[in-house]
Amino acid sequence: MKVNAVLSSGQTSDILRLYAYLMLSKHRQQRFFKENEKKIENAYKALIKELEECRVLAFESIFGNLRWNNIIEEACEIISLLKQLWPEGSDVRRALCVTSCSLSLRMYHDFLENRTKTASGQETNRQQVEGDCLSLQWMEDLCKLHCLSVVFMLHLPLSQRACTRFITSNWIEDIQTFLKMRKWCEYFILNNTNIFEFWNLNLIHLCDLSDELLLKNIAFYYENENVQGLHLNLGNAIMKDYEYLWNAVSKLVGKFDVGKPIPLRTTELNFLKKDPVPIKDTSKEKMPNLGFIPMSSKMVDQFVGDVLKDLPFLKRDDPIVTSLVKHKEFDELIHWHSHKPLSDDYDRTKCHFNEKSRDPYHLKSVQKYQVFQRFYGKSLESVSSKLIVTQDVKPKKNFTKPKTKKANETKAEIITRENKKRLFAKEEQKEENKWNVLSHSIEEEMKENLNSGIQNLEDFLKSCKSNLVKYQVEMVGLTACLKAWKEHCRSQGKGM
């Protein structure tokens, strides 16, 4: 296992580093892939071809005579309509909900239309066809329940959804075709997300697009508890978001009327099978609150900005936060759990690095490690390297002794000290004049190319010995970086 510091494409500086952990393959593995390269390529192509055939068979068993390319065109059309309907953008949950529901309703409508035609082209009774397959109105009710479940996901935290009761009843067989059709429609939508380019699509909840357990709970409520008189007040916020989604579905379908958002159920069909014990006993264990531990840091607040407002944070009195309070400081030389001294580990590490092994492989590894450490150390800060010379500790002055008078300097020593002072002042004036000559060109270069200007500034600092001139040069560099940062922030603000 090797650790390498690499630069991403287009980087001219190693201020931002990417660390890659690479495991080199052995010679026999490289030889195997080289000898069987053609066989592996043929097997890969055969596997892809087999998967495409299986995909077509699975597709035809659900959509019948509907063609693959036609559904892709329908999906692209619905995505384009959504971008016109919501020009301000949306999150991936809302976007996938309205597009998949509208596309699946369109496809189911065309599916029923094709079923009404016989092989000879003569049309049969539509009621007879809908007797074999559920009517479009029942599928509209199922899509309404799905839209409501997505709205609940937008308003309920994950910790509360995890405590939802477990419905053991399965979906009836008559809606399995439509459920599979909707899954295919979600695939078509997600597979063409490149159409959402230049549209504000928030992909934060891409890993949490649907909740089947929540959908079953909603269906169970409207089929059993609502008819028994248990009325649930959803609230204005949830109903407003639900109506917003269903109105969008109605506009995206376009070809036919899908009904109004209220009432949610216009049919009496039960989507769930009858089960003697439809609800499974759930654990009474309380779910812990989910969120970040609150911490205060001026640097983090200034760097992150308003992003922290969208993140969940735990309260100060939360048990998770209070359990982190340290009541006792432990010695870092003692293991936190076993309370054993760690001196053995330190000694073993020290011996490992100090042992003089003559193994060529070991010496090569040590050499690589030292090269990496040297490269990493240079990249931390742009300062000139300094040679550290160890010296004996000087004895401290004894301030209890009475002060003695300063020895009288000789005339030669006074002249030497004055000459050194004059030479130092002359050298400092020389460096200041040099900076006055170069400062204008370096400042102009930093305005045009900040990285190149900073590099020239650092080169000048390495050769400069006067602390006063160094201070002036560093202030110029900091001022240029601050101006560049302000301009970057303004451009980002305008772009958003």
Of 69, 249, 104, residue with least CA distance to 181: 104
Q: Helices 68-85 and 37-63: crossing angle, nearest 10°?
A: 80
- 8 A C-beta contact, residue 110 and residue 66: yes
Which of 215, 234, 211, 212 has its CA nearest to residue 223? 215
Which pairing describes strands 2-6 and 18-22: parallel, antiparallel, or unpaired?
antiparallel
Phi, psi of 202 (to 5 degrees): -85, 115
Q: How confident is the model at residue 297, as a pLDDT?
A: 79
DSSP designation for 206: T
Most confident of 85-94, 293-302, 452-461: 85-94
Element containing residue 474 per DSSP (H, E): helix 467-495
Mean pLDDT throughout 166-192?
Answer: 87
Task: Output the pLDDT for position 129.
Answer: 41
Lowest mean pLDDT among 20-24, 28-32, 365-369: 20-24
Q: For strand 90-91 and strand 2-6, is the pairing parallel, antiparallel, or unpaired?
A: unpaired
Mean pLDDT is lowest, of 274-283, 312-321, 448-457, for 274-283
Please tell me the total number of residues recorded for the chain in this structure: 496
Q: Judge contact between 231 and 213, C-beta under 8 A.
A: no
Would you say residue 329 has pLDDT above 60?
no
User: Average pLDDT over the chain, rounded to whole?
Assistant: 78
pLDDT for residue 401 is more than 60:
no
* Res 14: pLDDT: 46
Q: Which residue has the higher pLDDT, 278 or 138?
A: 138
**Radius of gyration of the chain, Cα coordinates, nearest whole angstrom:** 36
* Residue 439 in this model has a pLDDT that exceeds 80: yes
Would you say 13 and 451 are in contact if contact means Cβ atoms under 8 Å apart? Answer: yes
Sorted by sequence, the CB contacts under 8 Å of residue 61 that are 6+ apart come out as none
Whether 252 has a pLDDT exceeding 90, the answer reads: yes
Under the banding of pLDDT at 50, 70 and 90, the label for residue 3 is very low
CA atoms within 13 A on the CB side of 292: 9
Is 273 a residue whose pLDDT tops 60? Answer: yes
How many angstroms separate the Cα of 406 from the Cα of each of 395, 403, 409, 410, 438?
20, 9, 9, 12, 45
Global pTM value = 0.53
> What is the torsional sign of CA 265, 271, 277, 278?
negative
More confident residue, 400 or 170: 170
Question: What single-letter amino acid sits at 301?
Answer: D
Contacts of residues 380-384 at CB distance under 8 Å and 24 or more positions apart, as own/partner, are: 382/454, 382/458, 384/461, 384/462
| 153 CB-near residues (< 8 Å, 6+ apart) | 93, 161, 208, 210, 211, 214
Tokens, residue 437? 């000559």
Q: What is the pLDDT of residue 163?
A: 80
What average pLDDT does range 234-251 have in this prediction?
92
pLDDT for the residue numbered 1 = 39
Is the pLDDT at 139 greater than 50? The verdict is yes
Contact between 97 and 146 under an 8 Å Cβ cutoff? The reply is yes
134 within 8 A of 269, measured Cβ to Cβ: yes
Identify the residue with better confidence: 357 or 268: 268
Q: How confident is the model at residue 240 (pLDDT cuts 50, 70, 90)?
A: very high
Which positions ≥6 away from 226 have C-beta within 8 Å?
232
State the pLDDT at residue 251. Answer: 93
With tokens 């240029």, the residue in question is 480
Which of 33-37, 301-305, 400-404 ranks highest by mean pLDDT? Answer: 33-37
Q: Which amino acid type is present at position 460?
A: F
- pLDDT value at 305 more than 50: yes
pLDDT of residue 94: 93
- Range from 178-187, 295-304, 367-376 that averages highest in pLDDT: 178-187
Q: Tell me the pLDDT band of 125, cut-offs 50, 70 and 90.
A: very low
**Count of CB atoms within 10 A of residue 217's CB?**
18
- DSSP states of 336-398 as a string? TTT--B-HHHHHHHHHHHH-----HHHHHHHHHHHHHHHHHHHHH-----------PPPPPP-
Q: What mean pLDDT comes out for the span 440-449?
A: 84
Cβ–Cβ < 8 Å for 172, 141: no
What pLDDT digit, counting tens, does each position of 463-492 carry?
A: 888 888 888 888 888 888 888 888 888 887
